[in-house]
Amino acid sequence: MTEYRRPTFPVEIYRDEQGRPIYYGNRWGGESPPEDSYSRLSNPQRFAPLHAVADALIDWLQDTFDVTVEQTPSAASDLLHMPDHVVRAVRVVPRDRTAAPLTFVLTPFPGVYLHAGVLHDFHFPVCGCDACDDDVLNLAEELEWTVRTVVSGGYSERFDPGRGDWIHNPPEEPEAGMRAGCSRTADRPEDRVRCARSALPAAGEWSAWPLVPKGEADAAG
């Protein structure tokens, strides 16, 4: 199996209006952020390394697993909510239909939208405003962890066992970073929900991705 390696990238030092270094991820020291920080978005370029991480993940998936890869702008339509602009969209589909596909959409923010399975999008970063205080290294780890969870078979999407008007995506290890949650089916496009009811595997548990057949892997090596 090909081992994933995060690309190296410099960690830039950004400064506030007084010239003091900004330590993203711990900027507010556990205190509530200032009210105006919710509407302020400074230094968005600090998220640019997420594009390199997404590209490295796509290469790893293609080299390691038995998948088809489609790089086309139309792949961005997999998202439940489209961004205004798209830099690149790549759909990675395992040949085992019981395994969840992944679609990577790189945005000019810069950021990464990840569509997993049928009914869920994950955003890196979710917002990016100063109040959120996102650290790019933490976001990279969360993106990598989310992808690994999906390909290892730790991802699920299931309808509420009662009336079925809620859908859940609990991760295998909630504390590890994936944003677990539940949402109303009424808040999802009707055609997507209808498709999900027939496309989701039994009990909502997606399978682990199949590896590249040994002969093909040896030839590639």
Q: How close are the terminal C-alpha atoms of the chain, in Å?
A: 11
- Digit-coded pLDDT (tens) for 107-128: 999 999 999 999 889 999 999 9
Q: What is the pTM of this model?
A: 0.88
- Digit-coded pLDDT (tens) for 31-83: 999 999 999 999 999 999 999 999 999 999 999 999 999 999 999 999 999 99
